[in-house]
Amino acid sequence: MVVSHRRSRKRIALSCALVAAAAGGLLPFMSFSPAGAAEDGFRPQLVTVDTPTRAARSELGTLGLDVTEHAGHGYTEVVLHQPGDALALRAAGFTWEVRIPDLVQRESEINTANRAYAAATATSPLPSGRDSYRSLADYNADLDRLATRHPGIVKKITLKHKSLEGKPVHGVEIAHDVTAAKDGRPVFLMLGLHHAREWPSGEHAIEFAHDLVKNHGSDDRITALLKKARVVVVPVVNVDGFEKSYNDGQLVDLRTVDGGGTASILATPGNAYKRKNCRIVDGQAPLAGECSLTSSPGGYAVGVDLNRNYGAYWGGPGASAQSVDPTYRGAAPFSEPETQNIRHLISTRQVTGLITNHTFSNLVLSPGGVAPDTIGPGGQPVGSAADDEALVALGDRMAAQNGYTSQHSWELYDTTGSTEDWSYNATGGFGYTFEIGPDEFHPPFPEVVDEYLGAGEFAGRGNREAFLIALESAVDTATHSVISGKAPEGATLRLRKSFATPTWTGSITDTLDTTMTVGRGGSYTWHVNPSTRPVVKARQLQVISSEPLEQQSWTGTTAPGQRTEQEFTVGREADVLEVKLDWPTPDDLDLYVLRKNADGTLTQVASSAGFVGEKERALLQDPEQGTYVLRVENFASATPSWTLTASLFDATEEQTGGLIENWTLTCERDGKVLERVPVVVDRGQKVKADLKTCARNWSTN
């Protein structure tokens, strides 16, 4: 086992206590020990890999390992399913610590703890009173009950596409007078379980639905919100994958039986830690039962990562083209029925706010998915989100309720083809990923309760309060747009536009097509997203000057497996320190930039470690004055001659892009268009569109 003790990061505790059935006593979890794993051979593990730089995180993503959503400054957590995974880490030069040495043992402990909690709990503090994780059948039954028992405020919906295994995907729409004709209210969308093993993500989504329904009419805040908005909740996006993960997870049981003998009902976790959907072969539906008979440990290599399959920048950094990799992006943007469902849902409603729930890391992630200085398909840096300041501010407000860290998605690691990046860039509706919980995919159920309602200093707030703040933002006219005016009573108004959504290698066509019905009196108010998509709005980019303030070059050779260092002094103010490493052959050299501290120690501040044949370039913004060590490492070069160049530059802020788009607003009767007008409306803006021609033609059609 390769172990690193360099990190001073506080280790996450590996044990906790739980209310037990016996007289309110405590039932401790079984201690973590690798002994059982040694007896039975390699067991699935959760490890913390040292990734001190973005380049290291990127390289880790190329190894085909099961990289989790838990990462931070200097580390990334990975599930090792088989001995070859550890060998791949070691061969790539990574060091790591084992955090959970046996995930099968841990799954058994969680199941034992959950049984104890359920036995001790008649009704949990959750809005539904639930005391255990739901199965897929439980979710569907809950959605049915909500709609049946509360017909005035809940309507069950079935998404357009069935899953690969032929299952329907259900949700609910919640609103005051929910069955009324489409009335122009903004829509807030709550999603769970894109990734099969992330069970709390579905629990929090459906508990929010229960919360709204339970408190409508008695809680003034929630009642007012449901009069202003329609809330759509889809707790299980990935129905096939989740069903496999849940069913196999329940089977892991290492209890003592038969007078002291031990029986492992399930020797491996099966699909308990499955991430993706059930796509076995691109373009083909799986055979009956094929997805359950997975050919990869833990099921992680089978399927498409749905959170890499959305259209925006599909196929870029952080998404794999290899089907066996955990972040496999699929054969094409929106190739999977699950992502097609969410695309259709968003494209046919004015979704002004969205939360997609995942586990784990205690994070609130805002767009974008790749670092602003990443060179995009057009040859320019992708820049920051057009509404970055407002997105971050809302993220910070939500994180203040649950104690999570609010940050951009790219600060975790690069991601393309994700849910909220597509939704935000296509519609302008604010979108966030919640990474629920500190340290496990599906922890003991009491932690689900605490994360939703808040615990400790966050008691009474938690994700519940964060979700309500997101809903309040979705109805706030400062965060979206409003079109109002007069039109014939009963007319259908339609807002539509088609456009090219950029992928990393080209583009796809998206169409937004939403409708509302004009109410009594002929006046209407429609809460919509801005007419101009964020992806085409003006962006601020930092442009490096063409001439360096100062420059120094070196040439040399470095033997395989060795390194060479040069010193460069920054003795003046500059905006950027750029270090380039070039060589004449398609081999593999790596570059590291370290700052020399007053005591002579070195701190790494930048690096570049690309694939074979990719030349290295490291950028350091606003470099501190002092001495820097530039390190050339020969990772795999047979002819190791190189040229190293360090340059200081000034930079300027420049604006790029800046298109203005319009909605096409039509007024229709029985499918016939009576008037068509373009509408340009910005975020926070209200515009008037009186449809007089439609009114004149109404009586004659």
On whether both 637 and 503 belong to a single domain, the answer is no
Same domain for 471 and 490? Answer: no
Helix 445-453 with 462-475: angle, nearest 10 deg = 40
Sign of CA dihedral 179, 184, 190, 194: positive
| Structure tokens that stand for 537 in this block | 């709005």
Q: Do 188 and 216 belong to one domain? A: yes
Q: Can you say whether the dihedral through the CA atoms of 301, 304, 308, 313 is positive or negative?
A: positive
Q: Are residues 370 and 453 in the same domain?
A: yes
User: Has residue 264 got a pLDDT over 60?
Assistant: no
pLDDT score, position 239: 98
Nearest to 446 by CA among 700, 200, 137, 189: 200
Look-up of token digits 């990562």? 305
Select from 457, 475, 493 the last residue of a domain: 475
**Residue 74 counted as domain residue:** no
Q: Which range has the worst mean pLDDT, 174-178, 213-217, 591-595? A: 591-595
- Both 370 and 502 in one domain: the answer is no
pLDDT score of 492 more than 90: yes
Which one is catalytic: 420, 435, 447, 465? 435
Whether 106 is covered by a domain: the verdict is no
Higher-pLDDT residue of 411 and 425 is: 425
166 and 235 inside one domain = yes
Residue 530 above 80 pLDDT?
A: yes
In a domain, 78, yes or no: no
- Average pLDDT for 327-344: 97
Lowest-pLDDT choice from 203-207, 261-265, 369-373: 261-265
Residue 188 pLDDT > 60: yes
Q: Is residue 694 part of a domain?
A: yes
**484 CB-contact burial (10 Å; exposed 0-12 / middle 13-18 / buried 19+):** middle
pLDDT over threshold 50, residue 260: no
The CA-atom distances, in angstroms, between 171 and each of 42, 222, 633 are 40, 20, 53
Judge if 302 and 376 occupy the same domain.
yes
Task: For residue 327, give its domain range.
Answer: 120-253+271-475
Structure tokens at 422: 């597509």
pLDDT value at position 562?
Answer: 87
Would you say residue 599 lies in a domain? yes
Q: Of the ranges 2-6, 92-96, 261-265, 597-601, which one carries the lowest mean pLDDT score?
A: 2-6
Per the CB < 8 A criterion, the answer to whether 644 and 581 are in contact is: yes
Q: Are residues 403 and 381 in the same domain?
A: yes
Partners of 621 in beta bridges: 576
> Is pLDDT above 50 for 124?
yes
Domain end point (choices 438, 460, 475): 475
Residue 612: which pLDDT band, with cuts at 50, 70 and 90? low
Domain count, the chain: 3
Told to judge if 59 belongs to the known catalytic residues of this protein, a careful annotator would answer: no
- 397 and 465 fall within a common domain: yes
What tokens does 644 get? 């190293």
CA separation for the pair 205, 210 (Å, rounded): 9
* Residue 417 shares a structural domain with residue 503: no
Rounded Cα–Cα distance for residues 204 and 222 (Å): 17
Whether residue 192 is contained in a domain is answered as: yes
Give me the pLDDT at residue 677, please: 95
CATH number at residue 328: 3.40.630.10
Q: What are 89-100's pLDDT values in tens digits? A: 999 999 999 998
Instruction: Give the pLDDT of residue 518.
Output: 97
Helix (H, G, I), strand (E, B) or coil at 395: helix
**Cis bond before residue 368 (omega within 30° of 0):** yes
pLDDT in tens, 50-62: 988 877 887 888 8
Sign of CA dihedral 391, 393, 398, 400: positive
- Is 421 found in the same domain as 306? yes
CATH number at residue 604: 2.60.120.680
pLDDT exceeding 90 applies to what percent of the chain? 64
Please check whether residue 393 lies inside any domain of the structure.
Answer: yes
pTM for the model stands at 0.78
Within this chain, do residues 143 and 285 fall inside the same structural domain, yes or no? Answer: yes
Phi, psi angle pair for 493, to nearest 5°: -100, 140
In the predicted structure, residue 381 carries a pLDDT above the cut 90: no
CA distances from 5 to 11, 594, 607 (A): 11, 20, 21
Whole-Å CA distances, 545 to 96, 229, 553: 40, 49, 19
| Domain C-terminal end among 447, 475, 503 | 475
Q: How confident is the model at residue 265 (pLDDT cuts 50, 70, 90)?
A: very low
Q: Return the top range by mean pLDDT from 253-257, 424-428, 649-653.
A: 424-428
Q: 267, 272, 339: which is closest to 304 by C-alpha? A: 339
Residue 58 lies in a domain: no
Q: Which residue has the higher pLDDT, 5 or 614?
A: 614
Q: How far apart are CA 700 and CA 696, in angstroms?
A: 8
Taking the alpha carbons at both ends of the chain, their separation in whole angstroms is 78
- Pick from 298, 316, 690, 278: which is nearest to 502 by CA? 316
Query: What number is the average pLDDT over the span 264-276?
Result: 67
Q: What is the pLDDT of residue 657?
A: 65
